Structure 1
Amino acid sequence: MTLRTRLGALAALTATLLCVATAAGAAPARPAAEPQPKAASVAVPAGVTAGVAVFDRRTGTFTEQLNTGMQFRSASVVKLLLALDFLWNRGPDYSIPAADRTRLDAMLRSSNDDAASHYWSANGGSAIIGRMVTRLGLSDTAPPPASHPGYWGYTALSARDTVTIYRYLLDSAPAPVRDYIMGNLRQSTRCASDSFDQHFGIAGAFEKPWAVKQGWSGQYAPGTCGPSSSAEKSAVSVRQAAADADLSRPALHTTGTVGAGDRSIVAVLTLHPMGTTYGKAYTDIGRLTRSLTVPGGVRPAGKWYGTWGSDVNVRADSTSSSKVLTRLPAGVEVLVDCQKRGDVVSVPPYTNEWWAHLPQYGGYMTNIYVNSPDNKLPDVPDC
């Protein structure tokens, strides 16, 4: 739906409301205009280009809008369209063959690229995007440039079109389609299939319930959940591509729903300066997302701290021998809700016995790698 169409619909709704009966001889009260969100309310970190839209499904209004029609390369967010296209005409029972269910589950939960490439090749490539633009009435979505026909992650997408996709899923799609896709997004894995930690943005800024489909594309450092492969076909030749969407700067996107009953739809699409590390981009999109007004969203308790070091272990307990749950992206910001004494860790010239509990990782990291001058964090309670 275009902005002009949306405004026309709002005008029609206002006219309807004005026709409601009032006291005899009295003019109908004019409803108060919806306040337009101010771009200044979105805290965009220096050097970052962002397109942002937050839609409150309960009131039918946007609470945040910034560069909503700007095109970004979609990265893995396009996997929503690949899944919808596959499911579009599955028949009355919307049955999914076992092999496809395995692929789709991995594509939606863990952002599996092989699955996306399979559906891109099997179902017509760029024709998929053309079909979905028509079916959903998307305004800013376009196939990859002709110079990169197989690069599904180079599909152009905007924040407002992302909201339109989720609104279709939640309000118009057949129940089996809605439940299947949204059910998978609620089971988003922390480690993606290509080993990137994908619980940034929405997943870090709010308590559950949330459902997310994330996207990343660019020359980032290796991931932190295990051996990494290149993400979204991020070839070095991207500067030669001709398209409206920027194909060179690293992209990081967080999209999905937040709150009980999928109260709010959130779309945050970002581009970062060349050479930005994954930890820096992860931190910047987290700060941006936490600045948003998101009805129904519950902020997690704790204090945000910067970290230093590369591939810092998050362990099951405050001991050097306990299980490693994951490793942090270098320089990422983390939420700390409490701390406790544990094994003494020495990283010359530092020694520390205090460990920070990271609720969003469900584990502990040594305080040595927390950006604080004190061994014990001064504003964090004991566990």
Structure 2
Amino acid sequence: MRCTAPTKATAGHRHRSLLATVTAFLSLTFVGAAFSPTAAAAPARPDDTSAVGTTSAVVPDGVTAGVAVFDRQTGTFTEQLNASTQFRSASIVKLLMALDYFRNRGPDYIVPAADRAWLEPMLRSSDDDAANYYWANHGYSSIVTRMDGDLGLSDTEPPADPNFWGYTAISARDTVTIYRYILEKAPAPVRNFIMDNLRQSTRCASDKFDQHFGIAGAFNRPWAVKQGWSGDSYPEGTCGPTSAVSARTAAGAGSAAADVNLTRPALHSTGTVGAGDRSIVAVYTLHPVGTSYGKAFTDIGRLTRSLNVPGGVAPSGKWYGTWSSQVNVRSEPRIANNVLTRLPAGVEVLVGCQKKGQSVSVPPYTNDWWAYLPQYGGYISNIYISHPANQLPDVPLCSSPR
């Protein structure tokens, strides 16, 4: 989810200042036997011998992508596209923070309630304040250095400016290694804590960003996701019935490791898909400067849906583009005090069925058909669907009780 920095603040999903209030958090005390990832060898993985590799990925025009899909059942990669290319991590680095937290908490790995209060929002809702707190109180870039050594990562590097944890360099293949460690090598309490929280990923992040793009939109559950975003082109990536929150980031304020691009908006989707966490999926994307959040959301969705992901099941319905900004998703096909959330401007949505409801007018158009969006659990007026017909020709009618 995000580009972050604890010392140079901007609005929304951003590099935030470390507030003095972080000291109010309870200090962590590492007790018991050490959590020692190096006690077991890092999961084996084939070398990424080419810049591209084998892939069926359909990359939208203007998008730079790094992709890796690993089938844990066969022990092979089904997709590799620029798998060793470094991207700025945005909030994917929070996985390393969570692993670092458990590093010296054995043998029972009990998480006190005070720590759950910030760890769970950090993993489920990508809370930046929680990450700022942990980063500043546990060694800044040394967190990444420790995890590099423990997990045997090849492409992950601390940010050149240690104040900006979101500028940690990471690759798709290293992300697969991280998830393989969590699933296959980490002690069961550590695995369960991290994965259970990723399975409870909230649609609205802590900063009101709609974070159910990529994996979360492309596949039915079961899935577990950790998302990331960073850039100055996402002012309308918000969700929920609240007013929009700006998501601008100071892209040039910090510096990154190696040649990691900091100028283009980034949107990343990582996690597992299928029963038993069969496939590990890592999709990193950079978009042209000025790309809207809805366009980036749509593009990473199309890319993710094109991948060969064993165990993944596509949701039923038809994908359609939308127009206008802050389109309300309503619990019923009528205008009332029934707003569930709002769509990012111009985002592509999955339409499950349609039915007639209250007539909506946006001169010179009027439409009384409404589209049910199963991934949002509500309706939008068909007037906001990018299609010339009032009734969509290839979408079934909704049956009761919808």
Do both proteins adopt the same fold according to a TM-score greater than 0.5, normalized to the shorter chain?
Answer: yes
- For the Cα contact (< 8 Å) 1:308–1:331, is it kept in 2? yes
Against the structure 1 CA distance between its residues 99 and 246, is the aligned structure 2 distance closer, same or farther, given a 3 Å change threshold? same
Q: CA deviation at 1:172?
A: 0.3
1:223 counterpart (216, 231, 237): 237
Alignment correspondent of 1:257: 272
Counting only pairs closer than 5 Å after superposition, residues 294-305 of structure 1 correspond to structure 2 as 294-305=309-320
Against the structure 1 CA distance between its residues 184 and 240, is the aligned structure 2 distance closer, same or farther, given a 3 Å change threshold? closer
Alignment correspondent of 2:220: 207
CA distance in 2, matches of 1:157, 1:230: 26
- For the Cα contact (< 8 Å) 1:301–1:337, is it kept in 2? yes
CA distance in 2, matches of 1:238, 1:63: 37
2:194 counterpart (170, 181, 193): 181
- For the Cα contact (< 8 Å) 2:68–2:79, is it kept in 1? yes
Alignment correspondent of 1:151: 164
Q: CA deviation at 1:345?
A: 0.6
- Which amino acid letter does the alignment assign opposite residue 103 of structure 2? W
Q: CA deviation at 1:2?
A: 10
Q: CA deviation at 1:237?
A: 2.5
SS in 2 for 1:376: coil
Against the structure 1 CA distance between its residues 240 and 83, is the aligned structure 2 distance closer, same or farther, given a 3 Å change threshold? closer
Q: CA deviation at 1:312?
A: 0.2
Instruction: Name stretches of at least 5 consecutive residues in structure 1 with no aligned partner.
Output: 9-35
Aligned residues: 351
Counting only pairs closer than 5 Å after superposition, residues 39-58 of structure 1 correspond to structure 2 as 39=55, 41-58=56-73
1:172 counterpart (185, 189, 197): 185
Alignment correspondent of 1:38: 54
CA distance in 1, matches of 2:255, 2:142: 23
Instruction: Name stretches of at least 5 consecutive residues in structure 2 with no aligned partner.
Output: 1-40
2:131 counterpart (107, 116, 137): 116
Q: Report the TM-score, using the length of structure 1 for normalisation.
A: 0.88
Alignment correspondent of 2:210: 197
Q: What CA RMSD, in Å, does the superposition of the two structures yield over aligned residues?
A: 1.9
Q: Report the TM-score, using the length of structure 2 for normalisation.
A: 0.84
Against the structure 1 CA distance between its residues 162 and 92, is the aligned structure 2 distance closer, same or farther, given a 3 Å change threshold? same
CA distance in 1, matches of 2:186, 2:135: 21
Which one has more relative contact order, counting CA pairs under 8 Å at least 6 apart?
A: 2
Deviation per CA, 1:158-214: give whole Å up to 9, x if none: 000000000000000000000000000000000000110000000000000000000
1:352 counterpart (347, 367, 378): 367
SS in 2 for 1:237: coil
Alignment correspondent of 1:318: 333
Q: CA deviation at 1:89?
A: 1.3
Per mean C-alpha deviation after superposition, the further-off stretch among 96-105 and 181-190 is 96-105
Against the structure 1 CA distance between its residues 70 and 293, is the aligned structure 2 distance closer, same or farther, given a 3 Å change threshold? same
Counting only pairs closer than 5 Å after superposition, residues 22-171 of structure 1 correspond to structure 2 as 38-39=54-55, 41-145=56-160, 148-171=161-184
- Which amino acid letter does the alignment assign opposite residue 203 of structure 1? A
- For the Cα contact (< 8 Å) 1:316–1:322, is it kept in 2? no
Greater C-alpha Rg: 1
Q: Give the structure with the larger helix fraction.
A: 1
Deviation per CA, 1:294-341: give whole Å up to 9, x if none: 000000001000000000000111111151111000000000010000
Q: Percent identity?
A: 70
